[in-house]
Structures are given as C-alpha cells and as structure tokens.
Amino acid sequence: MNSFWEHELVQTAAYFSVVILCAIVFLTVFELVTKYKNWEEIQKGNLAVAMATGGKMFGIANIFRFSIQQHDTLFEMMKWGVFGFILLLLGYFIYEFLTPRFKIDEEIQKDNRAVGFISMVISIGLSYVIGAGI
C-alpha cells in the first residue's frame, strides 16, 4: 500500500486536491475581510476587483508551488502553505494601513483600476518573497 501513496500521480492528485480546498477557504477569508463581495463585483464587470482577486489567487497558488517544491509530505506542504497565506493576508492589512489617504477596499469597489492593479502586483510580489522563505 505504501507504493500506492508514493506514486507520483497519487501525490500530484493529493497536492492538487489540498491546494484547491485551501484556495477556496483562503478566498473565502479574503471575501470576509474585504468590504465588497468579490464575485458580485466581478459579475458586474468591476475590473479592479477582478485584478485584485486574480492577484490573490495567483499569490495563493504561487505560495503553494513553493511549498510543494520545498516539503516532502502533504502535511508539511499544507502547514507551510497555510503559514504563507497568513503572511499574504498580513501583507494585505499592511497595504491598507500604509495608504491612509484613501481606503483600498473602497477604491477597488469603485473600480479604481490603478488601485486594483497595485493590489494585484503586491499579492503576486509578496507571494514570491513568502515562497522563497517557506
């Protein structure tokens, strides 16, 4: 039975499944901390929300990519991926704190594409830094 769990296809399917479930949970957390409803705004055509959400999705996936590469077990990969997500979430709050002249969430909800683009790039950039550390 051990050889079954060590087969590359089984391991890939396990990593894929865990990452998809974690991504759903993490995107739900982001949905809870933002003042707007991501999927409603995207359905309305709000490009700023789409960019910010896409950056978060990329960031989560990229963190898990690094975690899969660096850790041998599914549990270790998941543990470090969750830690990486917490750091990404912390980065989101720091970004909001460092822009006292306007509220990030309000600007993104108003389809301010410049703010949405910067949010996307910050999520992507932080995911590389976080990934390198985990």
pLDDT band at 40 (very low <50, low <70, confident <90, very high): very high
Residue 93: what pLDDT?
92
pLDDT band at 5 (very low <50, low <70, confident <90, very high): low
pTM above 0.85, yes or no: yes
- Cα first-last separation, the chain: 30
- Phi/psi for 101 (5° steps) reads -75, -20
pLDDT in tens, 54-108: 999 999 999 999 999 999 888 999 999 999 999 999 999 999 899 888 899 999 9
Residue with the two structure tokens 């399917």:
13
Two structure tokens written together for 68: 């899969």
The alpha carbon of 1 is separated from its chain's Cα centroid by a whole number of angstroms, namely 34
Residue 6: what pLDDT?
74
